[in-house]
Every structure is written in C-alpha cells, then in structure tokens.
Amino acid sequence: MRKTFIAVIVFVMLAASLAGCAQSTPAASNPTQAPAQPTANTSGNTSASANNPVKVVFLITQPLSPFETDIWNSINKAKTDGLASDVKLIEMKNPTEYEQTIRQVSEDGYNVVISTFFFVHDAFNAVAPSFPDTHYVLVYEPNDKNIPNIHGILYDVQEGSYVCGVVAGKMTKTNKIGWFGGDNSPGIVKFLAGYEAGAKSVNPNITLDVQFAGTFVDPDKGHEISLALFEKGDDIVMQAANQTGLGLFTAAKEKNKLAIGVDIDQSDQAPNNVICSALSNPGLSVYKDISNSANGTWKGGTSNWGVKDGAPAAAITGLVPAEVKAAADQAEKDIASGKVVPPTTTDTGK
C-alpha cells in the first residue's frame, strides 16, 4: 500500500528488535524457511502449466503479515503446480540492505523477484534496469518510472470493502458501525470509502464511527480502539490496519460483537464473531505473475487488481443470514458488471 505502512518504516528505524528489526548481515544470506506445502486460492485467470518453470524469490521487510503470508502461500503453490522450479523467502531486516539484496538475488539468477509496499519502491527502480531479463513484481505500488521489467500491482480494495459494508449495513442492530485504519493515507481510505458506501447503500440511516491508529504493528492499540468503538454502541467494526487490526478480533470475542477482516479471510481469528473479510487477493495476483513469467506472457507496467480479474471481493462466513449474503453477492455482481462503482475517497474521518 502506497504509504500504507509508513508506521512500519518508522518502527524499523527506531526499534530494531521489532517488526522487521535491523541486522548488520546482508539479508540475502539469511533465507527464512516457509511452511511446507501451503495452500492458496488460485482461482481466476491463471495457468497451471509452465513452459519454463522459474526461480522465484520473495523479499519481505517485516515478519510475515497476513497479507504477505497469502503471497508466500501462493508462491509455494506455484512451485507445487510446476510453475516455479525454486522458491525462497528472504527477510531484509534493515532499509540499507534493500537495494543490495535485490541486486544480489538478481545476480543469483532469480527470474521473478517479488516484494511489497513502498519500502522497496526506489530500490526496485534502481536495480531493475540493470537486469532487463528479470521480472520484478512490486506489490501494492505502481511502476511510476515505466521501467519495462517491473510490474506494479495495485488493488481495488474499495470493492471488497463495499460488499462488506452491505453486510454490515444489513446486520447492524444499533444502526451504528465502526471502522479503523492504520493511518489516514489514500490506500487505507479506499477501504473506508468502500465500506461506508456499501453500508449506506442498504441503510441510509446508519452512523459510522472512524478512527486511525497511527500504526500497523500494534495489536494492543487495535484492541484499545475496538473496545472504544464497541463501547460507543458500534455493534460491527471493520479494520484495515494489518497487525494492529488483529486486536479487533480479541475485542470482538471479549464483547461478543461482530468483526470484519481485511486482505484475506480472517474468520479463523474469531470464528464466532467474524462475519466477512474484504479481500485484496494478493496471493492470487502474484500467482498470476509467476504463471505469466513461466509461460512467456509476462508484462510490465501497472495493473489494478479487482473483481474484473475473477478475484472474489469478499469472504462471507456462515454467520451471515442467507438474505444478507444474497444482497452481498448481488453487490459483487453489480461491481463486476460496472453497475456499481465504489468510491475510493471520502471526507468521513477527516
């Protein structure tokens, strides 16, 4: 997310022991081992046969978050499916290592180099022109320099948020719902804008309480915010705050309230409380890039990933009544057809 993780980079600089702490040794020599044979959602416009399996490396700048775990699972699925011949996960623990590590893995012959968020944006731009045959996948960032071997992937997160807003608008019993984000950046406001529009499309009398945590790596802060929102009478709360957002699920369980997850299906965090999750589908988008690279159809540029790509907008749980799920499904169809265009900005919360 462009500027979405600004709190993380500050944290990296100030507290080397947490969330991507600093380390003096080069990250390229310190691969992190992945879970064996993880599963991933690979529905959509992908290919499961490879003309030329590729070597793939995933470079992370913090311990795996739910968003990045989804990507890593899909990278491993690509290997299982024969699209990748070799995969590696490397945690870069110091911003001074980013460009050095990207250059090293490129020299080591990795065909597809994947990383996330604005931390690595400049480093990708610096290294990619020197390795024109290597494919660089920059997740949640645009290819703003139009470098031909960089593919920037952005996400239409307002779409899944709109669908979840429909669910919240129909399921609230107090006509008061809440939302909190990691910061007030445009990438996070897209979640808020979609959620608000979806809720008000089915319940124009609804009241929405909004807060910004100012951090993406503090579950205790998310827990505190969630409790405050529940105490205000919000009976459903959505988060868009990465690790900070995990505090929502603890609070929802404690107060027996309803919660909405983000990026991936987060119902496992609180099975009796999570009604839906707004999906970014980062793993599916990266799987498609690996498939395209292996089959000779890879292209650089910038893409906006959403329901038009066959990616589901939201994961709806069994806690949602059938008539509400039908309304959510219809909202997703209307987005896919272009009948509904969820907004990406809102003045709420400013």
Residue 1 has pLDDT above 60, yes or no: no
| CA gap 290, 319 in Å, rounded | 35
For the segment 196-206, the average pLDDT, to the nearest whole number, is 97
Residue 290 has pLDDT above 50, yes or no: yes
| CA gap 69, 66 in Å, rounded | 5
CATH of 157-280+320-337, one of 3.40.50.2000, 3.40.50.2300, 3.10.129.10, 3.40.309.10: 3.40.50.2300
Q: Where are the domains of the chain?
A: 6-155+282-309, 157-280+320-337
Residue 7 has pLDDT above 50, yes or no: no
State the average pLDDT for the chain: 87
Are domains 6-155+282-309 and 157-280+320-337 of this chain identical in fold? yes
Going from the C-alpha of 276 to that of each of 35, 115, 161, 197, 268, the distances in angstroms are: 26, 27, 10, 16, 11
Site of tokens 């988060």: 239
CATH of 6-155+282-309, one of 3.30.2040.10, 3.40.50.10540, 3.40.50.2300, 1.25.40.10: 3.40.50.2300
Residue 47 has pLDDT above 70, yes or no: no
Q: What is the pLDDT of residues 93-134, one digit of tens each?
A: 899 999 999 999 999 999 999 999 888 999 999 999 999 999
Q: What is the pLDDT of residues 263-276, one digit of tens each?
A: 999 999 999 999 99
Reported as a pLDDT band with limits 50, 70 and 90, residue 15 is very low
